[in-house]
Amino acid sequence: MEALRIEQTDDSHQVILDPENNLFEITGKSLPEDVIDFYEPLLDWLNLYRKEPNPKTAFNIKLIYFNTASSKLIMDILLIFEELIEEGRDIVIRWHSHTSDEDMQEAGKEYEEMIDVPFEHLSYV
Residue 125 near other proteins by CB under 8 A = no
Residue 116 near other proteins by CB under 8 A = no
CA atoms within 13 A on the CB side of 33: 2
Residue 102 near other proteins by CB under 8 A = yes
User: In the complex with other proteins, which residue's Cβ is closer, 15 or 73?
Assistant: 73
Tell the smallest beta-carbon distance from residue 31 to other proteins (Å): 6
Inter-residue contact 95 to 120 (CB < 8 Å): yes
Closest residue by Cα to residue 57 from 92, 84, 5: 92
Tell the smallest beta-carbon distance from residue 2 to other proteins (Å): 28
